[in-house]
Amino acid sequence: MFRHAESLIESGKFANVVCFDPMVNAPDWQALCDPLSIRLKYIEFDFKTRQPVPSIPFGKPAKRGDIDWRRTLYVLDEIDLLCDPNKIHATLAAIINYSRHWACTILANFRRFARIHKDLEGLATDYYIFQMLAPRDTQAVQAILEGIPDVDGREVTVARVKALPLFRHVHVAL
């Protein structure tokens, strides 16, 4: 994920980068974002309330001098901590549903396929799927992606996802 984020940032397409990491100030995030000459907003996370602190910045400036958060890359590690299949942080929902109007991009990962919010699932353009064995996760893959070809033209099946070797993935571009 970090390599992909770095290539997106270096493309010059983004004016800002917002990073969410549940392990706040993890060295990898600093290594990714610090050397780049872009505005960086770091979101901290309160494990007690399961909410980011402060709220996620989004949208056009409210008043003169405020930062314009259009053209922002949101790099969200373990996004399933901000949402579940039925509940989602309000600002994250706005980013997911309206980011296309603000030229924003979300690059996110999650630990369990069955735990992603329906808005993320429905508006995703790419999936990188690693080995999954849990029944709920493989059922979610089957419901969403089974029968769709990956970028190599091979059909995505539950059996194929279960058989993936460690650190190998299937890339599905919708």
Higher-scoring residue by pLDDT: 90, 154: 154
Mean pLDDT (the chain) is 79
* Numbered ranges of CATH 3.40.50.300 in the chain: 2-124
Where is pLDDT greater, at 91 or 51?
Answer: 91
CATH architecture type of domain 2-124: 3-Layer(aba) Sandwich (3.40)
CA dihedral 33, 37, 39, 45 (to 10 degrees): 10
Tokens 């893959």 sit at which residue?
Answer: 141
Q: Is pLDDT larger for residue 106 or for residue 63?
A: 106
pLDDT at 35: 44
CA distance readout (Å), 98 to 34, 38, 62, 82, 174 = 27, 22, 17, 17, 19
